[in-house]
Amino acid sequence: MNRTFAIGDIHGNLVHLEALLRQLPILDAQDTIVFIGDYLDRGPKSAEVVRLIRETLPALTPAKIVALRGSHEDAWHRVLTKGWPEFVLPVGNGCLATLRSFTGGPHPVNEETPTKEEFFSMFAGDFFPGDVRQWIADLPAWYEDEHAIYVHAGLPKVDGRFVHPSELADPHDIIWTRSREFFTEYGGKRVVFGHTVADLLPQELSLFTPGDKHDLFFYKSVVGIDTGAGHGGFLTAIELPALNVYESRQALK
């Protein structure tokens, strides 16, 4: 049977990504790895994470590699095409870490602010190589196979029903939404998503090791796999259809 391994938000955390990938079983050409998005920002190795997903991993495995657009890639695409200073300015978004990862500078510490030159470069996004800019622009917003629908953030409710991504003219909602209705009421085909860190989801509903609020969120047809790699947490993958769970924290104990 074809297997799909969905991997949550990475946020420049190369150590956890490499640790997680080492735990996966040997993959073949019938298998698929789906990255849920948010490869950039906060962590120290955004450039290296992008390189691993785009170049290194496809050379190491025959499995199909699918990289979806996360909210941070969507934000950088807006920076690159229209400008969005409100995204690059807040320290918590971690944009300076991405700039320095691509330019070879030191990872920012504490609440370090950019230099004037770095500010201008972040406003324009001109530190991204051309091929990375194109890669960001081309990232799809969703993927579907026989096991699940994969999106970064969830599915929106329109006219009283949750809509399939194919029905949306604009993918904004499936990249950015944080809807308690989706987390608690959706009951259609399984959806695997990230974006909202699992310990912020309604833990009283999670059916997967409910005693550990930091691991993935699993309720009815929704599976939330952002376990906080961008906030000092770890990285999670879920294997479908078997529902095997892999965590980078297990390898890094």
Cβ–Cβ under 8 Å, residues 242 and 253: no
Closest CA to 234 of 218, 217, 222, 251: 251
Cβ–Cβ under 8 Å, residues 214 and 198: yes
Cβ–Cβ under 8 Å, residues 209 and 229: no
Domain with residue 221: its CATH number is 3.60.21.10
Residue 86 CB neighbours (<10 A): 9
| pTM, two decimal places | 0.96
pLDDT, tens only, 75-114: 999 999 999 999 999 999 999 999 999 999 999 998 899 9
* Residue partners of 127: CB distance under 8 A and separation at least 6: 99, 102, 103, 121
How many domains, in total, are found in the chain? 1
First-to-last alpha carbon distance for the chain, in angstroms, is 32
pLDDT, tens only, 200-245: 888 777 777 667 778 899 999 999 999 999 999 999 999 999 999 9
pLDDT, tens only, 26-68: 999 999 999 999 999 999 999 999 999 999 999 999 999 999 9
Please state the φ and ψ torsions of residue 41, each to the nearest 5 degrees.
80, 150
Q: Which long-range contacts (CB under 8 A, 24 or more apart) does 49-58 make?
A: 49/10, 49/12, 49/13, 49/14, 49/17, 50/132, 50/135, 52/14, 52/17, 52/18, 54/135, 57/21, 57/33
Task: Tell me what pLDDT residue 167 has.
Answer: 97
The domain of 210 spans 4-251
Please provide the average confidence, as pLDDT, over all residues in the chain: 95
Task: Tell me what pLDDT residue 202 has.
Answer: 85
